[in-house]
Amino acid sequence: MNTKTMIFGVLLASISSLGFAQQQTDSLKVEQLEEVVITDSRFNLKRENSGKVITKITQKELQNLQGKSIAEIINNTAGIEINGTKSNAGQNLSYFIRGGKNRQVLVLIDGIAVTDASQIANDYDLRLLNADQVESIEILKGASSTLYGTGAATAVINIKLKSASKKAIAVNLSSTLGTNQSQDDQNYAIEHFNNSAAINGSLNKFSYLASFGHQYTDGLSAIEDGEADVFNTHNGYLKLGYQFTDAFKFNAYGSFDKFKTGFDDSFGFVDAENFSMTDQYRIGISPEYTYKNGSITLNAAYNNIEREIESSFPTQFMSRSFVGDLFNRYNFNDKFYTVLGVNAQKNEIESYSIPFGENDFAQDINAQDGNFTIVDPYVNAVYVSGFGLNLNAGLRLNNHSEYGSHLVYSLNPSFKKDINFGYIKGLASYSTSFIAPSLYQLFEPSFGNVNLQPEENRTFEVGAELNVKDKATISVVYFNRLEENFVDFKDLGDFQFQYNNIEEEFTASGFELVADVKLTKSLQLRTNATYTKVDEDLSLRIPEIKVYTTLNYTCGKRTFMSLSYQFNDDRDDSFYNTETFANEIVTLESYSLLDFYISHQIIENKMTLFANINNILNEEFRELFGYSTKGRNINIGFTLSL
């Protein structure tokens, strides 16, 4: 029996022997239940009435994941592989979801899309976020362009930042320190520090929250056998709110996120004193007016990002983006919900490099040429019948200044049957989506192509979910995604390269299994497994099978422990061979990791101590060819609420 068959066999056998699984649920405005989901409809609707299998990571769960980054936390979700989370802290992150890449994943912060117009893939860098500032995370997989526009082709990651306390003043402090070393290093020096502080509260109709975070990590080289490369980041966030009337509230916020990280020469895999610096500044407003049966909301944000690369090929990037999303939510009754809105975006890029033989920077892309605007009207409707049928459908017309208009749509029926111990639900969806070419792909003077068309995705899903009240939830989903107009970096001959759409179509398909089992009052088993099959051209760094399982144990009211296991299958990677002057494919072997976490409230609801051990067995593996990988590491820390 091969390893893949054994892994799935053990997993399925354990689920069937334990019973069914329990899923976390959220709270709801329309019907007060423990669990609601919002990302797939923009309404607080019961999970059982959703036609999607949505992962929600609550504040309670985040409290049990202290010491981990946002990318590490999300990486444990079914169907998701974030490459770079087990390497040097400054390693670039690659998001592989359902066989897709970074450009097909959209990140929202408090419901507002965040991107980086200076990136080749226009993607948002999760390294900029501080986990201590996050209240909850919802992950919606599948095409969601009808609600969220360009980039929402394989997943939407909706990150909600913390809100003000109901008390007049509250203080929250957190600190983590630990090791940061490879499998070969057994010195166990303290080389990782992560600290945050927040003050917040509410005074009558006024609310406020201010937080600051800092991380410093040393000790691990970017490449194998190199000198240590430092990662240093700072985060600040300020949010102010005022409830003018029962019907009208206004929130405004500002934030800065910045980091500096060292990196090495990735062509020759040699040590180098290279640095990458990123500064991000965001300001935004979110007024909301509530009326009978509905509400009108404006989410508007301005984002400025400056990136600088110090290396043998120094470059500078500046990007600016404005996003405004105005939408009206209306409940005709308890069965019919609609969202009607319009989204507007403007993105700009500037880039500079030093020409060969020169000493000073020269501009490659100027903001007058390197910009585009998008205006998208959209509509989405949800029907919740009284006999189990639920229907979620939407349309969006994308109007892009560079490639014209593009219509996307989605249809997502589901049927729920109540049974005496819970419910069983069947679901299906068919959605189209698009990925607009980035400003770099359009306007970079050497490689850009202003004639690019958007990539198109068509996604089909079918699945089932079984819920046992207060005991378990288990779900399985099959997905099939077709890519067209793929934007590729093509060799035109005579050492000329350019971004072009290619005619060939690509497919990605697979299964996602999620189970959450409450074994006893104190013991809980959570597990997920993903099988992903992709065309060879899309397969780099994507494991065919990935399994993540955690066993959680609560001892009384104050102590929590968890033991986690992760299996990643073989993956293909590529590197540039400096002797043959060509890219070569290598196979990275499968690996298994075991982690342990424990926390204890030494002062109930006030002060908690925690510790975790990652890669307990110190397994040697490669996440990226030629780059360092973390070995056994230990973190300890505390949280304090005053």
DSSP result, 261-288: EEEEETTTTEEEEEEEEEEEEEEEE--E
Instruction: Write the CA distances from 399 to 30, 150, 341, 344, 434, integer angstroms.
Output: 34, 11, 14, 9, 12
Segment holding 163, helix H or strand E: none
Structure tokens at 569: 């299958």
Judged by DSSP in three states, 148 sits in helix
Backbone angles phi, psi at 104, to 5 degrees: -105, 10
Confidence of residue 456 (pLDDT cuts 50, 70, 90): very high
Task: Choose which CATH entry (2.40.160.20, 2.40.170.20, 3.30.1280.10, 3.40.720.10) describes domain 3-641.
Answer: 2.40.170.20
Statement: residue 218 has pLDDT above 80: yes
Taking only the tens place, the pLDDT of each residue in 500-526 is 999 889 999 999 999 999 999 999 999
Helices (H) and strands (E) in the chain, counts: 5, 37
Statement: residue 176 has pLDDT above 90: yes
- Give exposure, 75-88, as e/b (b: 16+ Cβ within 10 Å): bbbbbbbbbbbbbb
pLDDT at 295: 95
Taking only the tens place, the pLDDT of each residue in 59-87 is 989 988 888 999 999 999 998 999 999 99
pLDDT at 11: 40
Q: Report DSSP letters for 396-421, one per residue.
A: EEEEETTTEEEEEEEEEEEEEEEETT
pLDDT at 197: 96
The residues near 56 (Cβ < 8 Å, ≥ 6 apart) are: 24, 26, 35, 37, 136, 137, 138, 139
Dmax (CA) of the chain: 77
Q: How many residues does the chain have?
A: 642
CA distance 384 to 390: 5
The residues near 237 (Cβ < 8 Å, ≥ 6 apart) are: 133, 161, 209, 210, 211, 212, 253, 254, 255
CA distance 345 to 364: 23
Of 354, 390, 287, residue with least CA distance to 46? 390
Of 305, 253, 241, residue with least CA distance to 284? 253
The reported pTM is 0.90
Q: Residue type for 237, please?
A: Y
Task: Tokens 């892009």: give the residue.
Answer: 400
Mean pLDDT of the residues in the chain = 89
Structure tokens at 422: 């819970």
Of 332, 344, 328, residue with least CA distance to 379? 328
Domain boundaries, the chain: 3-641
The residues near 564 (Cβ < 8 Å, ≥ 6 apart) are: 76, 548, 549, 550, 551, 594, 595, 596, 597
Taking only the tens place, the pLDDT of each residue in 522-576 is 999 999 999 999 988 778 899 999 999 999 999 988 999 999 999 999 999 988 7
Statement: residue 185 has pLDDT above 90: no
Structure tokens at 252: 């405004």
Judged by DSSP in three states, 61 sits in helix
Statement: residue 370 has pLDDT above 60: yes
pLDDT at 235: 94
To the nearest 10°, the Cα dihedral for 69, 70, 72, 78? 160
Q: Residue type for 59, please?
A: Q
Statement: residue 409 has pLDDT above 80: yes
pLDDT at 67: 86
Of 184, 137, 193, 187, residue with least CA distance to 160? 137
Instruction: Write the CA distances from 218 to 4, 66, 187, 261, integer angstroms.
Output: 36, 19, 13, 10
* Percent of residues, the chain, with pLDDT higher than 70: 95
Statement: residue 239 has pLDDT above 80: yes
Structure tokens at 164: 């003000």
| Mean pLDDT to the nearest integer, 388-407 | 92
Statement: residue 15 has pLDDT above 80: no
pLDDT at 31: 35
Query: Quick one: residue 317, left, alpha or beta (phi over 0 = left, psi -120 to 50 = alpha)?
Result: beta
Taking only the tens place, the pLDDT of each residue in 285-336 is 999 999 999 999 999 999 999 999 999 999 999 999 999 999 999 998 889 9
Local structure of residue 162 (DSSP, 8 states): P
Give the distance, in angstroms, between the CA of residue 190 and the centroid of all CA atoms in the same chain: 29
CA distance 23 to 45: 15
Asked whether the CA dihedral 112, 116, 120, 126 is positive or negative, the reply is negative
| Mean pLDDT to the nearest integer, 370-386 | 94
